[in-house]
A and B are shown apart, each in its own frame.
Chain A
Amino acid sequence: MATISFDLVSPENLVFNDEVGTIIVPGKDGDLGILPGHSKVMSSLRPGRVMVYSEDKNLIKSFFVSGGFAEINPEKCIVLAESVVEVNSLEKTSIEKEIQELENKEGKESEEQLSVAKAKLEAINVNYYDKI
């Protein structure tokens, strides 16, 4: 079976770079499942999970991104994300605390942070896409 090369890049480093089977990225208008040979798409991303699967559809890794961009062509998929964390390393309690703190704050900036934090919490709680 064919593979597609996948790069996950944050401003500080190259987080992931390998040949994979399938990737799911959180597009702004809805999740995109990317298989080898995908048509050329450029999409902006919402905060959410980037899931990476091997050729035989086993989940290799799942990352949380706070938004960014994806560039997809038949051979390659590149995700540029501002902050990248592995979903496994997120801590539920600290995020819940963060949400509480942010909810008491006003202003556009904390609103944005709040939506990111909420998406983080969701990323931990949900488990669809774990098996495809």
Chain B
Amino acid sequence: MPSLKDIKTQINSVGSTKKITSAMKMVAASKLRRSQEKAEAARPYSSRLEEMLSSLASSAVSGEGIIKLLTGTGNDQNYVVVPVSADRGLCGGFNSSINRETFKLVKSLEGNGKKVQLMPVGKKSRDFFNRVMKDQIIESFVDLNVSSTGYESALNISNKLQELYFDGKFDKCILVFNKFKSAISQEVTQQQLIPLDVSNSEKEEGKENSSNAIYDYEPDEETILKDLLPKNVSIQIFKVLLESDAGEQGARMAAMDNATRNAGEMIDSLTLKYNRTRQAFITKELIEIISGAESI
């Protein structure tokens, strides 16, 4: 049986852990609000861009040059998978679910005879894939801090991807990231980045086409499309980074909230144990005294 002093030390240590986790929860909550605002502020741009793109997509005819971002290379042999994780841990299943999902995806693609390369974003996925698939990593991006550096960080990734794409290093690029659903729930999502997947916006396209048909294009549709496509890649990455950042803060908040609650429960049960032990101790002493007095 642990001594009273042991239990007391344990209570104190759990208490200080609780203080830390509740502080982290508070920090995550305030960061979450900021990230959410950022993600929200970026929305008008990306939705406008998507609208423009979907109205232009039909005019893409030739599969040469930049248009390849839309039409693809015609192959689907080489893949690049980009898992987007956080740089730091202590946010529940946030990072491990990304890693698990990516790992599964890579294995299933390889099972179909495809060649897969990785481009992890964030320390946690880089470290994970450095351990399990080191030779497949072509590039990694860490310490992005998207909430402070902004669009610049997305541009780096996008430039690297496009450089590789136009060198013919890969045919398809898939992003794996945590989609921000609400402050407490994130959803692991796969999104095909290159070639652009217009199928999900096709529903709106039907009704939009009628209103967009009378637009004048300056200089012409193809030139605009050529400008638009690389921008769209960057903006999609930017959007994903922001969502993932907001998701990370949300996940951390939830994880820390849980940890704080668990620590509270643990303190309660330890205090109970402490009191019981103390009582048992007193009873034992009393019995000793009484039996000592009786024997005289």
Interface residue ranges, A against B (CB under 8 Å): 7, 9-14, 27-29, 32, 39-44, 67, 69, 71, 78, 80, 82-83
* Cβ contact within 8 Å between B227 and A9: no
* Cβ contact within 8 Å between B227 and A69: yes
Set B219, B228, B238: member contacting A11, Cβ < 8 A? B238
Taking CB atoms, residues of chain B closer than 8 Å to A28 are: 218-219, 223
* Cβ contact within 8 Å between B218 and A43: yes
* Cβ contact within 8 Å between A9 and B216: no
What CA separation (Å) do A72 and B38 show in the bound complex? Answer: 26
Given A12-B41, A12-B42, A14-B41, A29-B224 contact (CB < 8 Å): no
Q: How far is the CB of A28 from chain B (nearest CB, A)?
A: 6
Q: Which of B207-234 contact A (CB under 8 A)?
A: 214-219, 223-224, 227-228, 231, 234
* Cβ contact within 8 Å between B150 and A40: no
Smallest CB gap from B216: residue in A: A41
Smallest CB gap from A73: residue in B: B215
Interface residue ranges, B against A (CB under 8 Å): 38, 41-42, 44-46, 48-49, 52, 56, 150-151, 154, 214-219, 223-224, 227-228, 231, 234-235, 238
* Cβ contact within 8 Å between B216 and A39: yes
* Cβ contact within 8 Å between B45 and A9: yes
What CA separation (Å) do A109 and B50 show in the bound complex? Answer: 26
Given A9-B45, A11-B235, A13-B41, A69-B52 contact (CB < 8 Å): yes
Given A80-B49, A82-B231, A11-B215 contact (CB < 8 Å): no
Q: How far is the CB of A8 from chain B (nearest CB, A)?
A: 10
A-B contact pairs, 11 of them (CB 8 A): A11-B234, A12-B151, A13-B41, A27-B218, A41-B215, A42-B216, A42-B218, A44-B218, A44-B223, A44-B224, A71-B48
What CA separation (Å) do A42 and B215 show in the bound complex? Answer: 7
Taking CB atoms, residues of chain B closer than 8 Å to A32 are: 218
Q: How far is the CB of A96 from chain B (nearest CB, A)?
A: 23
Set B41, B45, B215: member contacting A40, Cβ < 8 A? B215
What CA separation (Å) do A82 and B214 show in the bound complex? Answer: 26
Set A9, A40, A43, A69: member contacting B214, Cβ < 8 A? A40
Q: How far is the CB of A114 from chain B (nearest CB, A)?
A: 17
Given A14-B41, A40-B215, A41-B215, A71-B52 contact (CB < 8 Å): yes
Most buried by A among B46, B218, B228, B235: B218
Given A10-B45, A11-B42, A28-B218, A69-B151 contact (CB < 8 Å): no
What CA separation (Å) do A82 and B49 show in the bound complex? Answer: 11
* Cβ contact within 8 Å between A42 and B48: no
Given A44-B227, A69-B224, A11-B151 contact (CB < 8 Å): yes
